[in-house]
Protein backbone atom coordinates (compact mmCIF):
# COMPACT_ATOMS: atom_id res chain seq x y z
CA UNK A 1 0.00 0.00 0.00
CA UNK A 2 2.55 2.54 1.17
CA UNK A 3 4.82 1.65 -1.71
CA UNK A 4 2.23 2.28 -4.36
CA UNK A 5 1.48 5.78 -3.04
CA UNK A 6 5.05 6.93 -2.46
CA UNK A 7 6.89 5.61 -5.48
CA UNK A 8 4.46 5.73 -8.35
CA UNK A 9 4.71 8.91 -10.44
CA UNK A 10 2.32 7.53 -13.02
CA UNK A 11 -1.34 8.53 -12.80
CA UNK A 12 -3.12 6.12 -10.55
CA UNK A 13 -6.64 4.80 -10.39
CA UNK A 14 -7.19 7.26 -7.56
CA UNK A 15 -6.14 10.26 -9.70
CA UNK A 16 -8.60 9.13 -12.31
CA UNK A 17 -11.35 8.86 -9.72
CA UNK A 18 -10.59 12.35 -8.38
CA UNK A 19 -10.75 13.88 -11.85
CA UNK A 20 -13.86 11.95 -12.80
CA UNK A 21 -15.61 12.98 -9.57
CA UNK A 22 -14.57 16.60 -10.02
CA UNK A 23 -15.77 16.62 -13.61
CA UNK A 24 -19.11 15.10 -12.65
CA UNK A 25 -19.53 17.70 -9.90
CA UNK A 26 -18.69 20.52 -12.32
CA UNK A 27 -21.17 19.28 -14.92
CA UNK A 28 -23.80 18.76 -12.22
CA UNK A 29 -23.20 22.25 -10.84
CA UNK A 30 -23.46 23.85 -14.25
CA UNK A 31 -26.65 21.90 -14.97
CA UNK A 32 -28.16 23.15 -11.75
CA UNK A 33 -27.22 26.77 -12.44
CA UNK A 34 -28.64 26.69 -15.96
CA UNK A 35 -32.37 26.82 -15.08
CA UNK A 36 -31.76 29.68 -12.66
CA UNK A 37 -29.99 31.75 -15.32
CA UNK A 38 -32.62 30.88 -17.91
CA UNK A 39 -35.38 32.01 -15.56
CA UNK A 40 -34.00 35.54 -15.93
CA UNK A 41 -34.59 35.60 -19.68
CA UNK A 42 -37.80 37.07 -21.16
CA UNK A 43 -40.51 34.63 -20.06
CA UNK A 44 -43.06 32.84 -22.22
CA UNK A 45 -45.78 35.45 -21.59
CA UNK A 46 -43.45 38.28 -22.56
CA UNK A 47 -42.40 36.46 -25.71
CA UNK A 48 -46.04 35.73 -26.56
CA UNK A 49 -46.92 39.38 -26.06
CA UNK A 50 -44.48 40.04 -28.89
CA UNK A 51 -47.10 39.10 -31.49
CA UNK A 52 -47.20 41.45 -34.51
CA UNK A 53 -49.22 44.67 -34.22
CA UNK A 54 -51.07 46.49 -37.00
CA UNK A 55 -50.77 50.25 -37.34
CA UNK A 56 -53.05 52.39 -39.49
CA UNK A 57 -50.98 55.12 -41.14
CA UNK A 58 -53.83 57.34 -42.41
CA UNK A 59 -54.02 59.66 -39.38
CA UNK A 60 -50.28 60.39 -39.44
CA UNK A 61 -49.78 63.75 -41.15
CA UNK A 62 -46.72 64.64 -43.16
CA UNK A 63 -43.91 65.78 -40.87
CA UNK A 64 -45.43 63.96 -37.91
CA UNK A 65 -43.76 61.29 -35.76
CA UNK A 66 -45.98 58.77 -33.99
CA UNK A 67 -44.85 56.51 -31.15
CA UNK A 68 -46.11 52.94 -30.85
CA UNK A 69 -45.03 49.99 -28.73
CA UNK A 70 -44.19 46.52 -29.88
CA UNK A 71 -42.81 43.93 -27.42
CA UNK A 72 -42.62 46.72 -24.85
CA UNK A 73 -40.21 48.58 -27.10
CA UNK A 74 -40.85 52.05 -28.39
CA UNK A 75 -41.08 52.51 -32.16
CA UNK A 76 -41.17 55.76 -34.12
CA UNK A 77 -43.24 55.97 -37.28
CA UNK A 78 -42.21 59.10 -39.13
CA UNK A 79 -44.11 60.47 -42.10
CA UNK A 80 -41.28 62.25 -43.83
CA UNK A 81 -41.58 65.38 -45.95
CA UNK A 82 -39.98 65.62 -49.39
CA UNK A 83 -37.11 67.71 -47.99
CA UNK A 84 -36.51 65.21 -45.20
CA UNK A 85 -36.32 62.36 -47.70
CA UNK A 86 -33.98 64.36 -49.92
CA UNK A 87 -31.76 65.25 -46.96
CA UNK A 88 -31.60 61.59 -45.99
CA UNK A 89 -30.71 60.47 -49.52
CA UNK A 90 -28.09 63.16 -50.30
CA UNK A 91 -25.50 61.98 -47.86
CA UNK A 92 -21.89 61.15 -48.40
CA UNK A 93 -21.71 57.51 -47.23
CA UNK A 94 -18.08 57.90 -46.23
CA UNK A 95 -19.04 60.49 -43.62
CA UNK A 96 -21.32 58.08 -41.73
CA UNK A 97 -20.36 56.18 -38.58
CA UNK A 98 -22.67 53.31 -39.51
CA UNK A 99 -22.90 53.65 -43.32
CA UNK A 100 -26.29 52.69 -44.75
CA UNK A 101 -28.07 54.29 -47.69
CA UNK A 102 -31.52 55.68 -46.94
CA UNK A 103 -33.00 53.24 -49.45
CA UNK A 104 -31.89 50.34 -47.25
CA UNK A 105 -33.81 51.80 -44.30
CA UNK A 106 -37.24 52.19 -45.87
CA UNK A 107 -39.47 49.82 -47.84
CA UNK A 108 -39.34 50.21 -51.59
CA UNK A 109 -42.00 52.61 -52.86
CA UNK A 110 -42.70 53.85 -49.32
CA UNK A 111 -39.83 56.30 -48.88
CA UNK A 112 -42.07 58.70 -46.96
CA UNK A 113 -42.42 56.19 -44.11
CA UNK A 114 -39.51 55.69 -41.76
CA UNK A 115 -40.07 53.05 -39.06
CA UNK A 116 -37.30 52.80 -36.45
CA UNK A 117 -36.85 51.73 -32.86
CA UNK A 118 -37.30 54.76 -30.62
CA UNK A 119 -34.55 54.17 -28.09
CA UNK A 120 -31.19 55.80 -28.56
CA UNK A 121 -28.55 53.21 -29.43
CA UNK A 122 -26.29 54.73 -26.81
CA UNK A 123 -28.04 53.99 -23.53
CA UNK A 124 -31.68 53.84 -24.44
CA UNK A 125 -33.19 57.29 -23.88
CA UNK A 126 -35.94 58.53 -26.19
CA UNK A 127 -34.47 61.05 -28.64
CA UNK A 128 -36.48 64.18 -29.43
CA UNK A 129 -37.89 64.41 -32.98
CA UNK A 130 -37.16 67.16 -35.52
CA UNK A 131 -34.25 68.36 -33.40
CA UNK A 132 -30.49 68.46 -33.65
CA UNK A 133 -28.22 69.49 -36.48
CA UNK A 134 -29.91 67.22 -39.07
CA UNK A 135 -33.48 67.77 -37.84
CA UNK A 136 -33.86 64.03 -37.43
CA UNK A 137 -33.58 63.34 -33.71
CA UNK A 138 -31.50 64.63 -30.85
CA UNK A 139 -30.96 62.59 -27.70
CA UNK A 140 -31.07 64.82 -24.62
CA UNK A 141 -29.27 62.29 -22.44
CA UNK A 142 -25.74 62.39 -23.82
CA UNK A 143 -26.13 64.35 -27.00
CA UNK A 144 -26.42 61.80 -29.81
CA UNK A 145 -27.60 63.25 -33.13
CA UNK A 146 -29.62 61.32 -35.72
CA UNK A 147 -30.62 62.37 -39.23
CA UNK A 148 -33.98 62.06 -40.98
CA UNK A 149 -33.13 58.45 -41.79
CA UNK A 150 -32.47 57.68 -38.12
CA UNK A 151 -28.75 57.30 -38.79
CA UNK A 152 -26.32 58.37 -36.11
CA UNK A 153 -24.46 61.54 -37.10
CA UNK A 154 -22.86 62.59 -33.84
CA UNK A 155 -22.55 61.90 -30.13
CA UNK A 156 -21.78 58.63 -28.37
CA UNK A 157 -24.38 56.37 -30.05
CA UNK A 158 -22.46 53.64 -31.91
CA UNK A 159 -25.04 52.60 -34.51
CA UNK A 160 -28.10 53.85 -36.39
CA UNK A 161 -31.57 53.52 -34.87
CA UNK A 162 -32.38 49.93 -35.85
CA UNK A 163 -35.32 49.05 -38.06
CA UNK A 164 -37.84 46.67 -36.51
CA UNK A 165 -39.22 43.86 -38.66
CA UNK A 166 -42.36 45.19 -40.42
CA UNK A 167 -44.21 45.01 -43.66
CA UNK A 168 -46.86 46.96 -45.55
CA UNK A 169 -50.22 45.20 -45.52
CA UNK A 170 -51.56 47.97 -47.77
CA UNK A 171 -50.39 51.49 -48.63
CA UNK A 172 -51.89 52.78 -45.39
CA UNK A 173 -51.32 49.92 -43.02
CA UNK A 174 -48.16 48.33 -41.62
CA UNK A 175 -47.70 45.21 -39.54
CA UNK A 176 -44.88 45.56 -37.05
CA UNK A 177 -43.23 42.31 -36.07
CA UNK A 178 -43.81 40.60 -39.38
CA UNK A 179 -41.59 40.79 -42.43
CA UNK A 180 -43.22 40.50 -45.86
CA UNK A 181 -43.14 36.91 -47.05
CA UNK A 182 -41.66 37.45 -50.47
Partner 1 sequence: MSEHPTTYVPKSAFGKWFESRLPIAGLIHSSFIAFPVPRNLTYFWTFGAILVFMLVSQIVTGVFLAMYYTPNAALAFQSVEHIMRDVNYGWLIRYLHANGASMFFVAVYIHIFRNFYYGSYKAPREVLYILGVIIFLLMMATAFMGYVLPWGQMSFWGATVITNLFSAIPVVGDTIVSYLWGGYSVGNPTLNRFFSLHYLLPFMIAGVVILHIWALHVPGQNNPTGIPIKSGKDAVPFTPYATIKDIFAVVVFMLFFAYWVFYLPNYLGHADNYIPANPAVTPAHIVPEWYFLPFYAILRAIPDKLGGVIAMISAILIWCFMPWLDTSKVRSTAYRPLYKQFFWLFVAVCILLGWLGSRPAEGWYVIASQICTVYYFAHFLIVLPVLGFVERPLPLPNSILESVMGVQKGGAGMPAGANAEPHSKG
| Catalytically active residues, by annotation | 142
Residue 127: CB partners within 8 Å, gap ≥ 6? 118, 120, 137, 138, 139, 140, 144, 146, 161
Contact stretch for ligand FES (CB under 6 A) within 52-60, 78-86, 146-154, 155-163: 155-163
Nearer to partner 1, 87 or 120 (CB): 120
Give the CA count within 13 Å in the CB-facing half-sphere of 9.
0
Contact stretch for ligand FES (CB under 6 A) within 9-17, 58-66, 151-159, 163-171: 151-159
Nearer to ligand FES, 144 or 149 (CB): 144
Which residue from 59, 99, 158, 165 is in contact with partner 1, where contact means CB under 8 A?
158
Distance CA 107, CA 115 (A): 9
Q: Angle at Cα 122 formed by Cα 71 and Cα 61, nearest 5°?
A: 60
Which residue from 125, 163, 169, 175 is in contact with partner 1, where contact means CB under 8 A?
125
The reply to whether 123 sits near ligand FES by the rule CB under 6 A is yes
Distance CA 173, CA 21 (A): 61
The reply to whether 129 sits near ligand FES by the rule CB under 6 A is no
Which residue from 15, 43, 89, 133 is in contact with partner 1, where contact means CB under 8 A?
43
Amino acid sequence: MAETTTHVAEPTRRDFLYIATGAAAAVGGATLVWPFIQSLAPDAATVAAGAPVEVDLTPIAQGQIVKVFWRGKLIFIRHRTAEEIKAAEDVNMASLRDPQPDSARVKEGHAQWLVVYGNCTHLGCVPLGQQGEYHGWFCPCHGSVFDTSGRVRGGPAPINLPIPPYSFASDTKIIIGQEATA
